[in-house]
Amino acid sequence: MSDVPFTLRDARESDLAYLNAYAAAEGMDDLPSAENVRVAVNEDDVPVGFLRLQQGSNGAAHVNPVVSCATWRGWGVGRALMEEALASHGELRLVARAASVPFYRALGFGELSWDAIAPEIAVDCDGCELRGECCPLPMGKKMR
């Protein structure tokens, strides 16, 4: 038996009910599809977290978003998904909600300018009614 109680795999369309429920719990919209989504699954192959990558028009891979099921926080789900994505792409960019900034900082992410975020991703924050509460912060990390 593994020390890690989950494994990572590509998302399937049949996972979307779980993923969208986790996203909704965080006040996020449904995912458009399972494309470019990796999931962490428990021993019963039930998703317990996910990460969606979006290739920006600026050529950079953007995390949009990474979410763990509330009962699985603290098990390293988000960290495992982020580390795998960084290893695959060499650089990741994202827009962090204020409450998530400590998580990303613990992974070595630093603050970026808004110009570093692809416009099609940054636009999600423009005019958002929750922007004041969310306090979005552009962040990124490159492999060393």
AA letter at 75: W
Q: Are 75 and 5 in contact (CB under 8 A)?
A: yes
Average pLDDT over the chain reads: 93
- Is residue 2 in a domain? no
pLDDT band at 128 (very low <50, low <70, confident <90, very high): confident
pLDDT digits (tens, 9 = 90+) for 63-112: 999 999 999 999 999 999 999 999 999 999 999 999 999 999 999 999 99
The number of domains in the chain is: 1
**3-state SS, one letter per residue, for the chain:** CCCCCCEEEECCHHHHHHHHHHHHHCCCCCCCCCCCEEEEECCCCCEEEEEEEEECCCCCEEEEEEEECHHHCCCCHHHHHHHHHHHHHCEEEEEECHHHHHHHHHCCCEECCHHHCCHHHHCCCCCCCCHHHHCCEEEEEECC
- Is residue 129 in a domain? yes
- Is residue 1 in a domain? no
The CATH number for 21's domain is 3.40.630.30
Stated pTM of the model: 0.92
- Is residue 55 in a domain? yes
Would you say residue 44 has pLDDT above 70? yes
- Is residue 53 in a domain? yes
- Is residue 12 in a domain? yes
The whole-number pLDDT of residue 1 equals 39
**Full domain range(s) for residue 99:** 7-142
The whole-number pLDDT of residue 141 equals 96
Query: Checking DSSP bridges between strand 110-111 and strand 137-142, what pairing results, if any?
Result: antiparallel
- Is residue 136 in a domain? yes
